[in-house]
Amino acid sequence: MLNVLFLCTHNSARSILSEALLNHLDAQCAMPGRFRAYSAGSSPRADQQPHPMALEVLQSAGVCTEGLHSKGWETFSAPGAPSMDLIITVCDNAAGETCPLWPGHPATAHWGYPDPAQGDAPDARKREAFRQTLHAIHQRLKLLMSLPPEMLHGNLLQRAARSLPSPSSIHP
């Protein structure tokens, strides 16, 4: 099983969407159990919760949201934490921060997506931005999941994850 950690600053939108969607897609695929997704934030607020629109969009897409919660990345760098194989930053802030030293030296990649919660747009526009972000994440995750097993290790995994094309249709 490949453990994948999605990182963002607050762990409330893009990383939560990624975690839930990869776990959902893995459970639905012909060979379930290849991937296990987690998410965390570099600096979640003390009372941080997943963004309500992130949960709404996931539920509308038929993706389970049970158990999703915001947490700091120290959860996954502590002794006894699951060992990660791949760490993907999904926002530019987290990509630019100094990350902890991860046990096992996992592969890393940056898949930047615009923040669907940013700004003061009307709720309908924000909801559409969340939907588009989920769709873009879905496209990339399907590509990741389609990689042959021999590509899911070390440097090959890092090269493959970094080279997956970025969806160009996100306009929050």
* Exposure class string for 13-47: b at 16+ Cβ within 10 A, else e: bbbbbbbbbbbbbbeeeeeeeebbbbbbbbebeee
Which residues, including other chains, have CB under 8 Å from residue 84's CB and lie 6 or more apart?
3, 4, 5, 38, 76, 102, 103, 104, 106
Q: Is residue 170 part of a domain?
A: no
List the domain range (segments joined by +) for residue 159: 2-163
- Which pLDDT tens digit goes with each residue over 7-40? 998 999 999 999 999 999 999 988 899 999 999 9
Work out the average pLDDT over 97-110: 79
Q: Is residue 168 part of a domain?
A: no
Q: Is residue 24 part of a domain?
A: yes
Q: Is residue 117 part of a domain?
A: yes
Q: Is residue 172 part of a domain?
A: no
Residue 33: which region, alpha, beta or left (left: phi > 0; alpha: psi -120 to 50)?
left
Which tokens hold the place of 41?
Answer: 């934030």
- Which pLDDT tens digit goes with each residue over 34-78? 999 999 998 888 888 999 999 999 999 999 999 999 999 989 888
Amino acid at residue number 150: E
Alpha-carbon gap, residue 137 to 39, rounded angstroms: 14
Q: Is residue 93 part of a domain?
A: yes
Alpha-carbon gap, residue 103 to 120, rounded angstroms: 39
CATH of the domain at 60: 3.40.50.2300
Q: Give the torsion through C-alpha atoms of 49, 51, 57, 59, to 10 deg.
A: 20
What's this model's pTM, rounded to 2 decimal places? Answer: 0.92
Which residues, including other chains, have CB under 8 Å from residue 21's CB and lie 6 or more apart?
37, 58, 61, 63, 134, 137, 138, 141
Mean per-residue pLDDT of the chain:
90
Which residues, including other chains, have CB under 8 Å from residue 122's CB and lie 6 or more apart?
none
Q: Is residue 171 part of a domain?
A: no
Q: What's the total number of domains in the chain? A: 1
Judging by DSSP bridges, how do beta strands 2-8 and 86-89 pair with one another? parallel
